[in-house]
Structure 1
């Protein structure tokens, strides 16, 4: 089986480096190199190239969810005037409650995932979104529960577990 070349990730080593950074973006190049059994300079050069080429767009903080702080989630479908899409996206980007915004095909144009501590907070956000110039209509769904989530929360839990392991090593 031959591996296809990608302009994005040049080879398997790039993919393995990215996987390590996705697990923990703060990991040192020395530790990544040791795990991948390559020279530290190779890892450093690969990361620098991927940053320069835009493959790695940046590094971010992944917030874990405090189990005692429940939140309500709604999914919103939006139909928008196409010529207003950029302005609408800029406005949507100002709402911290909007966790995800996807461009979709079909009857609606945008799909939003919105979270807030109370349903009343979500009601305000959804009402404001519906009033943005260029928004033709919205359809909102309240999420009753998550059956599984392979998103950032899983990553946050893995990082937290690693952090706890490191701390217990120093405590003991």
Structure 2
């Protein structure tokens, strides 16, 4: 991956629906160059999908939280598999330090939030959890 690829990825992160013509203009390259680069990045598995972001006011009714999870040493894969399968888990990170996993959660209400916390704590292999509700997001 070179500088042009990194610039292209940065533009796509900003707006994944930006037309190829607009991307080419911003990057000062031919439209075909952008199309070929995107195709190659997708084929190589660098770009694995596209997503959307909602205006904060559209997402305001959802509960957002960050959950840290400590896992028994030989159970991390199994716990990750279970968390990946839960609709409320938006992202899942393996991290170093006191916690083994960090999950970003999005839920409809406090009842669903409480149920999710209980189900994660009851998972085989989970030693401990700590969850914080996100009050505000300042940079996206």
> 1 CA distance for matches of 2:65 and 2:51?
24
Per-residue CA shift, 1:117-136, capped at 9, x if unaligned?
32221110000011111112
Deviation at 1:91, TM superposition (A): 0.8
Per-residue CA shift, 1:107-162, capped at 9, x if unaligned?
2211223232322211100000111111122223344x22x4323xxxxxxxxxxx
Alignment of 1:14-53 (within 5 A): 14-53=5-44
Matched, 1:92 2:45: no
Structure 1 gap ranges (5+)? 1-8, 152-172
Alignment of 1:96-135 (within 5 A): 96-135=87-126
Aligned pair count reads: 140
Higher helix share: 1
Structure 2 gap ranges (5+)? none
> 1 CA distance for matches of 2:11 and 2:121?
41
How big is the alpha-carbon RMSD for the aligned residues of Structure 1 and Structure 2? 2.2
Normalization by structure 1: what TM-score? Answer: 0.69
